[in-house]
Amino acid sequence: EAGVAQSPRYKIIEKRQSVAFWCNPISGHATLYWYQQILGQGPKLLIQFQNNGVVDDSQLPKDRFSAERLKGVDSTLKIQPAKLEDSAVYLCASSWGQGTNTGELFFGEGSRLTVL
């Protein structure tokens, strides 16, 4: 079974530039998550999709971050314009089930963003 695919693995940009990350979840997984992990911290949930609908985006900085999950499959997370504090690893994860019936998450390797 193929895992969660993410690209690019690494990206370096200057502040105020834009960047986009792509995620392809495990086939058949209804729920897709984007987490931000700053060095030395635990992952912070940015947005959670169930199929192609947003379930939770309460911690997504909507003035600069956007995400979509077209056709309920792969997803794109965009940052525009980037700030220095956006330097982090962006982790995509997917899972079976919905709501409280959701079990374990399967994570991709992450996309490491450095903003200069």
Partner 1 sequence: SQQGEEDPQALSIQEGENATMNCSYKTSINNLQWYRQNSGRGLVHLILIRSNEREKHSGRLRVTLDTSKKSSSLLITASRAADTASYFCATRGSSNTGKLIFGQGTTLQVKP
Which parts of this chain interact with partner 1 (CB under 8 A)? Answer: 4, 31, 33, 35, 41-45, 48, 55-56, 59, 91, 93, 97-110
As measured in angstroms, the least distance from the Cβ of 94 to partner 1 is 12
**Which candidate, 69, 34, 29, 28, places its Cα nearest to that of 52?**
69
As measured in angstroms, the least distance from the Cβ of 43 to partner 1 is 5
As measured in angstroms, the least distance from the Cβ of 100 to partner 1 is 4
Task: Please name the amino acid found at residue 104.
Answer: E
**Which candidate, 90, 92, 66, 88, places its Cα nearest to that of 77?**
66
